[in-house]
Amino acid sequence: MKLEIVTAERLVYSEEVSGVVAPGIEGELGILPHHAPLLTILKPGELRIMKQGQEDAYLAVSGGFLEVMANRVVVLADTAERAEEIDEARAQAAMKSAQERVTHRAADVDLERAMASIQRAQARLKVVRRRRHPPQAGGGG
């Protein structure tokens, strides 16, 4: 099936794949070839791309939408980053800052935005760290 990942700035990915696991709003969502039509919201998290005979690829997405139609999956993501595009130190600093905003909740802190920042930073860190320590064969994730 064809997978396209698009953000407002660019086409991030466009290739034939054997499966996709995405961070759906209700939990992880697995899509295989010939999946029924679907439109769903994505939350910040890790998107896994499976290709026959190749190592899985991982991207950090910060939310958006996923549509399945006619053996084609389109991800319209707020942001989507490959591991090599992520600055780990910057992601770690963003995580720390967001955690401090939640922990030391001042009256002007928007808790929902701070929690979303934590989720985005966690996804970015998970993807970049997976590049350093890829899962063992057959481990699935």
SS (H, E, C) the chain: CEEEEECCCCEEEEEECCEEEEEECCEEEEECCCCCCEEEEEEEEEEEEECCCCCCEEEEEEEEEEEEECCEEEEEECCEEEHHHCCHHHHHHHHHHHHHHHHCCCCCCCHHHHHHHHHHHHHHHHHHHHHHCCCCCCCCC
Give the domain range for residue 104. Answer: 84-132
Count of domains for the chain: 2
Regarding predicted confidence, which is higher, 106 or 56? 56
Query: Is the pLDDT at 15 greater than 70, yes or no?
Result: yes
Query: pLDDT, tens digit, for every residue of 100-138?
Result: 877 776 556 677 777 777 787 888 888 887 766 655 544
CATH number at residue 23: 2.60.15.10
pLDDT, position 30: 97
pLDDT confidence of residue 120: 79
The residue ranking higher by pLDDT, 25 or 122, is 25
pTM of the model: 0.75
Percent of the chain with pLDDT over 90: 52
Query: Is 140 inside a domain boundary?
Result: no
| pLDDT at res. 130 | 75
Look up the CATH number of the domain holding residue 121.
1.20.5
pLDDT of residue 137: 47
Q: Do 12 and 60 share a domain, yes or no?
A: yes
For residue 87, pLDDT over 80 is answered with no
Same domain, 77 and 9: yes
